[in-house]
Amino acid sequence: MKTIFCLLLFGYSVCHLSSQPNCNVYLWEGDTIQYEACKLSHNFKYIYQFETRAIALLDSCISICPYYAFAYYEKAVPFLKAGNPIEWDKNINLAVKYDPITYLGTRASCRGKFFADYDGAIRDIDSLSLIINGDIGYTHDGTYHLEMYKGLCYKAKGDFQKSIEIIERFINSHPSDIGFYDFLHLGVAYQETGNHNMAIKYFLKQQEVNDIAENRFYIAKSYLHLKELSNFHISIKKAKEKIKQNQKMNNKYHVLEDEIFEQDVFKLQNDSMLK
Amino acid sequence: MKYGLLSITVLILANISCTTSQSPALRWVEDIPFDPAVDNPNFELCFGEDHAIQYYRVSNNTGSKHNKPKFVSFIEEQTKSIKFKNESGYIRVRFIVNCKGEADRFRILESSLDNKPKSFSKQTSEKLLKVIKAIDKWHTGNNMTKTDFYLYVLFKIVDGKIVKILP
């Protein structure tokens, strides 16, 4: 029941993150041009974002208010989902230009996730930290806190030590913001540095928060390295079971950082026989 | 009378010319209409042009995401003998997969690493296109979700090396 509630809350939060702006805010600020563009953009929710008439509607909003960031952001999204870096970048940059507080974090995580542009993502997160006093918020899909995501970007760049520093600092300072996969990534970063005891510590923590095939797989790897064969066999068996039950990382757009596949498990098993 | 007929003829011809020179309006951005100059005329969509959707709406494991390690190994194997020039940027190959897992209408988009249009050497992009075209069967999800869909493969290339294959 608790899990269902959390999932519903998470789903609601994600929907809320990508929702349309409250037009009255612009009216209260005396910005009637942006208010008019915003009112028109409410029709956008009835049109599929890839449709050319959706783009035409957003262009109409922009012609009313050339600094209406939401319209640029929504124009960028279908290109992002189609893997088009040129059109995505052109539009999201304008969204960031006109509303950096709302869209810098989004650009950061999309740069990392969709284009493996980890340096760009880190730059955006740092820029956001400079203009926000307090919490910088979450990635575009709500999976990670942006401070955690910065650590993940360093990990993807191969700078595991820096990644560990950032993620541990985040976990210690934001205990209530720890995400579904944070301990897993930290464990993998430790594993990459050869510190298997610390890696195991965090895989076991991940097991408590969200026990998926990935933490069982990576813990098996560390057990194998430490020659704890009994634990290795238990973990690898569990990883296989969890893959079969689809209790694993999954995302409809992309393969995620540290996500594993059945083939990875078989390969690790074969490697263990060779040792 | 003679001038009247001539005028009508000119108007009709002008109208035909206008009609034929206009490309049909796209249904969606990033749609790929059939181009007889480059596309396979025998490639068929199972459910028609208007029903092809984006890959991520089919299921969670379509295309390259179905078995990413296997896909990446295949690309690495196929490209290991290729000598890329010392270039950097993104090369996106976008195409349509029909419900039988066959692919066609391949299109290439090239950009710099800072997302500006750029042209790679023809040798680089054509070789990558050839590798993608060599995949004769794409994963289409389970039987319940059989459909035609748009898919892409994005190569991030740094100093002539493929450093990431997305999505």
Q: SS3 for B158?
A: strand
What's the CATH class of domain A2-147?
mainly alpha
B20 confidence band (pLDDT: 50, 70, 90)? very low
Instruction: Select the residue from B65, B96, B107 to test the A interface by mutation, using most A Cβ atoms within 10 A.
Output: B65
Interface confidence: ipTM more than 0.95 = no
Question: Measured between CB atoms, does B107 come within 8 Å of chain A?
Answer: no
- Compute the nearest-CA separation of B41 from chain A (Å): 24
Question: Measured between CB atoms, does B154 come within 8 Å of chain A?
Answer: yes
Q: SS3 for A39?
A: helix
What is the tens place of the pLDDT at every residue in B76-99?
Answer: 888 887 778 889 999 999 999 999
CB count in 10 Å sphere of residue B53: 16
What is the tens place of the pLDDT at every residue in A120-163?
Answer: 999 999 999 999 999 999 999 999 999 999 999 999 999 999 99
CA–CA gap between residue B70 and residue A255 (Å, rounded): 13
Q: Does any domain span residue B147?
A: yes
Q: Does any domain span residue B11?
A: no
B109 vs A84: CB contact, 8 Å cut-off? yes
Q: What would be the CATH architecture of the domain defined by A180-274?
A: Alpha Horseshoe (1.25)
B67 vs A84: CB contact, 8 Å cut-off? no
Range of the structural domain that residue B96 is part of: 27-166
> Which two tokens mark B134?
């060599």
Question: With contacts defined as CB-CB under 8 Å, which chain A residues touch B72?
Answer: none
Q: Which is nearest to B62 in space by CA: B123, B145, B121?
A: B145
CA–CA gap between residue B136 and residue B146 (Å, rounded): 17
Q: SS3 for B15?
A: helix
A255 vs B65: CB contact, 8 Å cut-off? yes
Write out the DSSP string of B52-107.
-EEGGGT-TT-GGGTTHHHHHHHHHHHHTT----S--EEEEEEEEE-TTS-EEEEE
Handedness of CA A135, A211, A15, A122 (dihedral sign): positive
Q: Does any domain span residue B56?
A: yes
Q: How far is CA A117 from CA A62, A159, B96, in A?
A: 28, 15, 26
What is the tens place of the pLDDT at every residue in A197-215?
Answer: 999 999 999 999 999 999 9
* B147 and B58 Cβ atoms separated by less than 8 Å: yes
Question: Measured between CB atoms, does B51 come within 8 Å of chain A?
Answer: no
Which sequence spans correspond to the domains of chain A?
A: 2-147, 180-274
Q: Does any domain span residue B22?
A: no
Q: Which is nearest to A42 in space by CA: A72, A12, A18, A22?
A: A22
- Compute the nearest-CA separation of A174 from chain B (Å): 30
Low-confidence ranges of chain A (pLDDT < 50): 1-17
Q: Does any domain span residue B17?
A: no
Backbone angles phi, psi at A27, to 5 degrees: -65, -45
Number of folded domains that form chain B? 1
